[in-house]
């Protein structure tokens, strides 16, 4: 049972363009939505995260847009750079009790062409 669905599976963007990755969740109890970035040979690293009390969060070139009624959230990478080429995972979890139980999406492999 896949509780977090991510799309697209792969994405190719030209340098300077906007990369958009979408996720949809089913469990309305989720209240923490992080995005992780993973480079080859490395473990995932937290990129940016949002709580459902806000509709948007921006950190540098990375923005999360959150639509609670639609149960969807997305990652926007502005001015995409070749160094952004990586696999991106959305995730969701419930609260802060007994450690976080992250449910991950399938991942999106982003390639930014120079």
Per DSSP, 84 falls in state G
Q: Which is nearer to another protein, 46 or 78 (CB)?
A: 46
**Cross-strand partners of 7:** 22
CB atoms within 10 A of CB 106: 14
101 binds another protein per the rule CB under 8 A: yes
For 85, what's the count of Cα atoms within 13 Å in the CB-facing half-sphere?
Answer: 11
Question: Which of 107, 108, 110, 112 is in the footprint of another protein by CB under 8 A?
Answer: 107
First to last CA, the chain: 38
Four-residue CA torsion sign, 40, 41, 47, 49: positive
Question: Which of 8, 18, 27, 42 is in the footprint of another protein by CB under 8 A?
Answer: 42
54 binds another protein per the rule CB under 8 A: no
Q: Which is nearer to another protein, 1 or 69 (CB)?
A: 1
Q: Which is nearer to another protein, 26 or 79 (CB)?
A: 26
Binding site for another protein (CB under 8 A): 2, 4, 9, 32, 34, 36, 41-46, 49, 89, 93, 96-107
């Amino acid at each position: 049972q896949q509780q977090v669905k991510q799309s697209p599976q792969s994405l190719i963007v030209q340098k300077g363009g906007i990369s958009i990755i979408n996720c949809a969740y089913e469990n309305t109890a989720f209240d923490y939505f992080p995005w992780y970035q993973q480079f080859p040979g490395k473990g995932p690293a937290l990129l940016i995260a949002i709580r459902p009390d806000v509709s948007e969060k921006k950190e540098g070139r990375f923005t999360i847009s959150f639509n609670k009624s639609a149960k969807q959230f997305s990652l926007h990478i502005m001015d995409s750079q070749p160094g952004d080429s990586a696999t991106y995972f959305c995730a969701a979890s419930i609260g802060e009790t007994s450690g976080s139980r992250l449910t991950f999406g399938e991942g999106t492999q982003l390639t930014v062409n120079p």
